[in-house]
Structure 1
Amino acid sequence: MNALPVEIEVEELSLWLEGKADVALLDVREDWEVKLCALPGAIHIPLGQVPARAGEVPKASRVVVLCHHGGRSLRATQWLRANGFSQAINLAGGIHAWAERIDPDMATY
């Protein structure tokens, strides 16, 4: 059983980032989406490339996975957890929820 939840809300991620928590961000959107808006410092690996590039994802810290609305990132989170990344966590609502509830100046699409 995983100690961490499978999914967190954007408000919790915001608190983690403000508190300088040991957390990595993994953005699984496509290149064109990341060019529109992104969270600073996120590792960018499109969903279809996650299995081949999993070595780029840190296993020793929490990894919050995000996409546009949370569907692709949930699939990535499930794959990561099934493959040894027990601290992978999906960002509910994705970057769209982040823009709506945390950073209203962020571009949306």
Structure 2
Amino acid sequence: MQRNVSLCCTVLALLNMGEYMHPFFRAPYLDLTTDQVKAKLDRGDPFRFIDVREPEEYAIARIEGAELLPLSRAAEWIGTLDPGQEYVFFCHHGQRSAYVAAYVASNLGFTRVANMTGGIEEWSLRIDPSVPRY
């Protein structure tokens, strides 16, 4: 059991390394900064902005225009995603959303998938200080 937990942590850490990894190991999704995501929103780019945090977290802080699809309920919603759409996933710090982005890109074969690095925490610090930090 301990070995499995260590292996899972290692895999998640590798997935989160983004563009700094060797291309062979890199998950086929983009890492976008909060500034890049804000620019996409400001331009009106067509994409789904998905918050994978839990409802309790969403009740504390949220980003306008984002859609809540909790990671804990992914089995219910993951099959409803449209492979023709672009997705930007985020969470509190960017770890859970990186996992979702990697899964959607690698296992479902979606090609227009991104993770917002730093999550809602970074959004609050850099983009919109009115979004509560927790």
Give TM-score scaled by structure 2 length.
Answer: 0.73
Q: Which has the higher helix share?
A: 2
Per the TM alignment, residue 5 of structure 1 is displaced from its structure 2 partner at its CA by 5.0
Greater RCO, 1 or 2 (C-alpha within 8 Å, sep 6+): 1
* Secondary structure of 2:40's aligned partner: helix
What runs of 5+ residues in structure 1 fail to find an aligned partner? none
Residues matched between the structures, number: 107
Pick the structure with greater CA Rg: 2
1:11 lines up with 2:35 in the alignment = yes
Q: Deviations over 1:28-86 (max 9, x none)?
A: 00100001111123221111222331134343222100000000000010111121322
* Secondary structure of 2:83's aligned partner: coil
1:30 lines up with 2:51 in the alignment = no
Residue of structure 2 in register with 1:100 after alignment: 125
* Superposition RMSD in Å: 1.8
Whether the 8 Å contact between 2:29 and 2:111 is mirrored in structure 1 is no
Give TM-score scaled by structure 1 length.
Answer: 0.88
- Tell me the percent identity: 28
Whether the 8 Å contact between 1:65 and 1:77 is mirrored in structure 2 is yes
